[in-house]
């Protein structure tokens, strides 16, 4: 389904709402509705179970969002967590300089795509896209232009050359997308951290930041956790929590927000072994995504060429979102940068005593960092489908179905009395609901014809619908309908729990 349909489905079925909608919304902030919060919690549980509870050497943490301001000095966020920003003097709109330049390249890329489509139509089955792209003169010129622009931009970004970025924008005559004006300010570095003020201390002294990543809460607690759990290297600390970034360009729904949630794990290792663990976590994290049912061809690696100041290797797992392949999760080999920096600025030792070597050292760190909201979006995008199925009379009809993995589906089972105006049926259905609700998130629904109720459950991804009919009153059996196969099976009420459990158990993914 296209992106627009995905956004409207998310709203219509109570997954995601625009924040403060009655005041025309706050950009890049979203609220998770009744089904959204269940799906998000299930994603978090899957992550926590597989990362923390399935690893004897990984433990959890829940650090506070506010941290001592020196934390952000040490981590480099005060000095280096910047985006290059440019304002248009006429429209007063602010843009990320690199996004403007990439937008210009995207337009050239679209022209290439048009040429490819035209040629495909002309040559039919004979058409070989790779050959056409590598031999057609016009396409080669256009591709060379894109490569040249992006290479200049990456060099300017790497060297923090703000003048260089402005020159690229001026040379390409890039206009403000809002007003068409080319009247630009200089490019300036814009720090992405939100700041606020401590009530009791005036001025700079009382300045606090909302954390831009959860990782630093883990670094500063490294020794607290190690000593209280008596873990030996290698071991990990995992955390799920909110992070905040004052993104200049925040768009594409919940993909890039100013307030979002991260699921991060820092794995502390002996210096020199970081490559081995980087490779291990790369594979393990990719498997985590495919185990949930995300098709392998919708995921790919993107190794970083320009490494952050703290990293000696980094890669992204990208997902094929409705707007193209984009970063879903980052895996970073962060060296000993963070622990060293905190050690220096705080004056407190953050070292591990290695009993085998009888010496202390600062461990290296391999990090896995997944955005919970991006994970949510990837699952919605992957699952939402329209398909033709037979209706009650056997005729073709179109249904919208959310084929989420049952383990993360918001509602596991819907309990439906065949008709609502027969008290014996509604009473029997309520009894079934009461039996199941202690084990699963269930919904009771008696409104509308049964076919319509099935469709409502399909649209929110409920894997099982249980229907209570007149036979139930006679023999204590119900029908259970499978969301994907549409098969209906008659089962005894006493066997329902085991049946639903077998299909929705998180253990199926481990």
CB of 55 to ligand GAP, least distance (A): 19
DSSP-derived secondary structure letter, 508: G
Task: Note whether 369 binds ligand GAP by CB under 6 A.
Answer: yes
CB of 192 to ligand GAP, least distance (A): 9
Q: Contact at 8 Å (CB) between 411 and 433? A: no
The residue of the chain with the least Cβ separation from ligand GAP equals 371
CA–CA distance from 272 to each of 277, 314, 315, 411, 426 (Å)?
10, 16, 19, 46, 65
Binding part of the chain for ligand GAP, among 17-25, 253-261, 404-412, 438-446 by CB under 6 A, reads: 253-261
Pick the binder of ligand GAP from 115, 161, 312, 327 (CB under 6 A).
327
Task: Note whether 247 binds ligand GAP by CB under 6 A.
Answer: yes
Contacts with ligand GAP by CB under 6 A: the residue count is: 19
CB of 308 to ligand GAP, least distance (A): 9
> How far is Cα 380 from Cα 385, in angstroms, rounded to an integer?
10
Pick the binder of ligand GAP from 363, 371, 461, 503 (CB under 6 A).
371
Tell me how long the chain is. Answer: 510
Pick the binder of ligand GAP from 38, 98, 213, 458 (CB under 6 A).
213
Pick the binder of ligand GAP from 38, 98, 264, 336 (CB under 6 A).
264
Residue 189: strand pairing partners: 84
The kind and range of the H/E element at 223 are helix 222-229
Pick the binder of ligand GAP from 153, 215, 362, 366 (CB under 6 A).
215
CB of 365 to ligand GAP, least distance (A): 10
Residue 95: strand pairing partners: 86
Task: Write b or e for each residue in 462-478: b if 16 or more Cβ atoms lie within 10 A of its Cβ, otherwise e.
Answer: bbbbbbbbeebeeeebb
Six token digits for residue 206: 């009382």
Pick the binder of ligand GAP from 32, 260, 278, 433 (CB under 6 A).
260
Please say whether the dihedral angle defined by the alpha carbons of residues 184, 185, 187 and 189, taken in this order, is positive or negative: negative
Q: Contact at 8 Å (CB) between 67 and 78? A: no
Six token digits for residue 118: 């035209």
Task: Note whether 318 binds ligand GAP by CB under 6 A.
Answer: no
Q: Which is nearer to ligand GAP, 211 or 412 (by Cβ)?
A: 211
**Sites of contact with ligand GAP (CB under 6 A):** 213, 215, 245, 247, 256-257, 260, 262, 264, 327-330, 367, 369-371, 373-374
């Amino acid at each position: 389904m296209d992106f627009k349909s995905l956004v409207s489905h998310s709203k219509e079925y109570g997954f995601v709402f625009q924040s403060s909608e009655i005041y025309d919304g706050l950009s890049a902030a979203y609220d998770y509705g009744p089904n959204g919060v269940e799906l998000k919690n299930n994603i978090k549980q899957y992550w926590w179970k597989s990362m923390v509870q399935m690893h004897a050497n990984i433990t959890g943490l829940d650090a506070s969002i506010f941290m001592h301001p020196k934390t952000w000095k040490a981590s480099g966020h005060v000095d280096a967590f910047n985006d290059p920003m440019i304002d248009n003097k006429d429209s007063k709109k602010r843009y990320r300089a690199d996004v403007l330049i990439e937008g210009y390249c995207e337009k050239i890329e679209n022209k290439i795509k048009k040429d490819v489509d035209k040629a495909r139509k002309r040559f039919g089955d004979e058409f070989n896209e790779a050959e056409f792209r590598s031999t057609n003169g016009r396409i080669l010129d256009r591709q060379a232009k894109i490569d040249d622009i992006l290479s200049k931009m990456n060099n300017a970004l790497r060297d923090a050359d703000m003048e260089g970025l402005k020159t690229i924008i001026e040379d390409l005559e890039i206009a403000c997308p809002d007003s068409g004006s080319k009247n630009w300010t200089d490019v300036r570095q814009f720090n992405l951290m939100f700041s606020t003020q401590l009530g009791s201390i005036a001025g700079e002294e009382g300045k606090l930041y909302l954390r831009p990543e959860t990782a630093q809460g883990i670094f500063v607690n490294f020794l607290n956790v190690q000593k209280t759990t008596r873990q030996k290297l290698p071991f990990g600390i995992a955390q799920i929590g909110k992070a905040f970034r004052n993104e200049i360009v925040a768009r594409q729904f919940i993909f890039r927000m100013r307030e979002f949630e991260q699921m991060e794990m820092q794995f502390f290792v002996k210096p020199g072994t970081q490559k081995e663990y980087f490779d291990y976590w790369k594979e393990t994290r990719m498997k985590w995504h495919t185990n949930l049912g995300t098709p392998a061809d919708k995921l790919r690696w993107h190794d970083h060429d320009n490494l952050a100041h703290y990293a000696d290797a980094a890669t992204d797992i990208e997902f094929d979102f409705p707007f193209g392949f984009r970063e879903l999760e980052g895996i970073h080999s962060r060296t000993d940068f963070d622990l060293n920096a905190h050690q220096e600025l705080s004056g407190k030792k953050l070292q591990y005593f290695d009993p085998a070597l009888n010496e202390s050292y600062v461990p290296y760190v391999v990090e896995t960092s997944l955005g919970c909201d991006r994970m949510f979006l990837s699952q919605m995008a992957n699952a939402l489908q329209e398909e033709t199925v037979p209706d009650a009379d056997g005729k073709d009809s179109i249904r919208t179905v959310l084929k989420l993995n049952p383990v993360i589906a918001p509602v596991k089972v819907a309990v439906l009395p065949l008709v609502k105006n027969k008290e014996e049926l509604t009473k029997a259905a309520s009894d079934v609901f009461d039996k199941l609700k202690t084990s699963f998130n269930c919904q009771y629904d008696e409104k509308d014809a049964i076919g319509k109720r099935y469709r409502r459950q399909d649209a929110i991804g409920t894997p099982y619908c249980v229907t209570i009919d007149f036979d139930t009153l006679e023999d204590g059996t119900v029908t259970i309908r499978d969301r994907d196969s549409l098969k209906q099976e008659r089962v005894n009420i006493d066997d329902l729990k085991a049946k639903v459990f077998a299909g929705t158990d998180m253990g199926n993914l481990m």
